[in-house]
Structure 1
Amino acid sequence: MNTPRLILSSDVSLAGQDSRILARLCSSGRYARVRRSVYAEAEEWHALDEPSRYGLRAAAFQLTTKRQPVFCLESAAMLWGLWIMGAPRKLHIQTSYANGGRSRGDVARHLEKPGDNIVACGPLLLTDKLTTTLHLITRLKFEQAVSVCDSSLHLVRYQRPGNIFTPVDIPTVEHDPSWNHDAPQGPPLLKSELLAAADALPKKAARNRAVAVIDFASGLSGSAGESFSRVRMAQLGFIAPELQHEFELRDGRKALVDFWFKDQRKVGEFDGRAKYLRQDWAGGKSTADRVIDEKNREDQIRAQNVGVFRWTWAEMQDLVGFERLLRAAGIPKR
């Protein structure tokens, strides 16, 4: 997916043309307004998915602000590939006491004391992974906080190649500065790191909240859907499953399952769409071939006297329906 070229009103004026022409082209449908005084070709803009549009809005903001912004909270989480739900509505910017500035429009500014928690990812500045994770898990709902924490602990098996610029005196992180990551980026955090950072929080309520999330979190969770599912199971009082249990299949392959209930000999699988749609999984096979492979994998697991049950986002979000589904599968409560 090609990134659209951003066109600034100030550039048009410097070229000796009337910058109001951009507004007219926007009204005619040829251009799209990315933010005030910044435009892009409408066809290219509308072809972008939600995270890519968010990234273009961030790039437009960076081009039009006097100071280079430091992205934090959900904005930094997107660059780290942490599991948040969809693209944020606002751009989250960290500001110091010296710089000041107010939140307005689609920009939310968060006052923080200057520290050594800022890193560079390509041409972008953002809070480091530990700071980003800790700030989010003390602010979000429990299931969302667990999802973020799980992803910060998650060891990814693949990463996009880095393309890094090196600003002076700012540490760099070795991954692609993309707003559309589908896996966590950078080295995984350790629970000990998170607990030490949580212990340094000034407010007791924030410390207690962070510790509760960290204790529940697991780097074995493979997706936001799996993290949410685990929280739902706990909220409903069901026994805790083993995560990423390995089965050996008769064709010699090994298969990892999302949830394994050993005593009940039941496998639970969260059915997200990603594994059927991502191009870098399954050697670039078509969606149809992936579905067939998944069925073959499941048949070989069932052949080992194992029951398999599945659920979707919608089923997991419906607490009454999800409880019914788990009971029907024979999963007991604590």
Structure 2
Amino acid sequence: MSGLLILRQEVVADGGDSSTLERDARRGRIVRLTAGAYVRADEWAALTRAEQHGARVHAVVPRLGPDTFVSHESALALQGFPLLGEWPTRVHVVSRGRPRTKVSSTVHRHAVALRNDETSVVQGLPVVLPRRAAVDVVRRRDLRGGAVVLDHGLAVGAFSRGDLEGVLAEHGRAQGSRRAAASVAFADGRAESPGESISRAAMHSAGLTRPELQARLPAEGSLVGFVDFWWPCCGVIGEFDGEVKYRDAAMRAGRTAEQVVVEEKLREDALRALPGVRTVVRWGWAEALAVEPLLRKLARAGVC
């Protein structure tokens, strides 16, 4: 990531004219991340939002001095976590010995306690470990936002539930601890996407019967498939349909989008034919984010 950066000091050291950088920034050829640090506009546009935030981290943090650690959302961005909503415009760090929080246009310095065993090095930068960064982030997010972060961390093995509970026990007096504890208790590493996480949170908040996650159908015998959500009480299968399975070439594994759609239809027909299955309910990002459309679909199917 740091290889993307164009640094004024390196341009000058190589005999270049630093004034051309600002001129190119005004013309839209490069993007200014912070004073003296830029990225080519075409390379910037090709990055995901998380990668763009990671580039900001690499532009800002090396200038902040010793005993400064990338934290909160910024630490999660460097370690491949998803986030519900936009990534922050400021880089989040923890600076040891700082008596109070300080916020500038580019940096949010948190005044919080940090132990040596809560840090590591990622992409050459000193970074707060995922378990600590995740708990700090979900203190300020609702259940949906917390589930997106924590489900992912559990799924990829970045931490265990015990790790998260240990952080809560160590820093239990911090603001938002009750909210974080609720998110930790709710988190489930069986969720395979942020869309599944926010859908499950919507179901939980609405008081719906808790579904089985990634259920094998049928439970015994020849496998037809694993489903995102399964309510055996009413014979309802729930599937979150993210567009990535149709657009991502790696996930299509050489198949066209049309082939993926046909295979999904055949799979759904086979699931509907199983004993005990009444119906299959599908939804996407728009319905999961709006919540009510998702709940109406489930109610019509008989989930309560």
Q: What TM-score comes out, normalization by structure 1 length?
A: 0.79
Matched, 1:265 2:235: yes
Alpha-carbon distance between aligned partners in 2 of 1:326 and 1:144, rounded to the nearest angstrom: 22
Alpha-carbon distance between aligned partners in 2 of 1:281 and 1:10, rounded to the nearest angstrom: 42
Alpha-carbon distance between aligned partners in 1 of 2:50 and 2:255, rounded to the nearest angstrom: 25
Moved more, 301-310 or 46-55: 46-55
Q: Which residue pairs with 1:245 in the alignment?
A: 215
C-alpha change, 1:196 and 1:30, in structure 2 (3 Å) is: closer
Structure 1: give runs of 5+ residues left out of the alignment. 157-186
User: What do residues 118-173 of structure 1 show as CA deviations (whole Å, max 9, x unaligned)?
Assistant: 1112312211121112212222122211222222221x4xxxxxxxxxxxxxxxxx
Contact 2:53 2:77 in 1 (8 A): no
SS of aligned partner of 2:183: helix
Structure 2: give runs of 5+ residues left out of the alignment. none
C-alpha change, 1:325 and 1:267, in structure 2 (3 Å) is: same
User: What do residues 254-300 of structure 1 show as CA deviations (whole Å, max 9, x unaligned)?
Assistant: 52111000021110011112222333324343323222222221121
Q: Which residue pairs with 1:45 in the alignment?
A: 44
How much does 1:94 deviate?
1.4
Q: What TM-score comes out, normalization by structure 2 length?
A: 0.86
Alpha-carbon distance between aligned partners in 2 of 1:204 and 1:62, rounded to the nearest angstrom: 25
Quick check: which one's helix share is greater?
Answer: 2
The amino acid that maps onto 1:78 is: A
Matched, 1:227 2:227: no
Alpha-carbon distance between aligned partners in 2 of 1:80 and 1:318, rounded to the nearest angstrom: 28
Percent of matched pairs sharing the same residue: 29
SS of aligned partner of 1:135: helix
The amino acid that maps onto 1:237 is: G
SS of aligned partner of 1:280: helix
How much does 1:99 deviate?
9.8
How much does 1:74 deviate?
0.8
Alpha carbon RMSD of aligned pairs, Å? 2.8
Matched, 1:326 2:298: yes
- The runs of at least 4 aligned residues of structure 1 exceeding 6 Å deviation read none
Q: Which residue pairs with 1:6 in the alignment?
A: 5
User: What do residues 39-60 of structure 1 show as CA deviations (whole Å, max 9, x unaligned)?
Assistant: 2323333333322222222222
Contact 1:89 1:106 in 2 (8 A): yes
Q: Which residue pairs with 2:104 in the alignment?
A: 104
How much does 1:245 deviate?
0.3
C-alpha change, 1:47 and 1:143, in structure 2 (3 Å) is: closer
Q: Which residue pairs with 1:22 in the alignment?
A: 21
Q: Which residue pairs with 2:125 in the alignment?
A: 124
SS of aligned partner of 1:281: helix
Contact 2:195 2:285 in 1 (8 A): yes
How much does 1:62 deviate?
3.6
Q: Which residue pairs with 1:163 in the alignment?
A: none
Matched, 1:311 2:283: yes
C-alpha change, 1:97 and 1:69, in structure 2 (3 Å) is: closer
How much does 1:221 deviate?
1.5
C-alpha change, 1:91 and 1:283, in structure 2 (3 Å) is: same
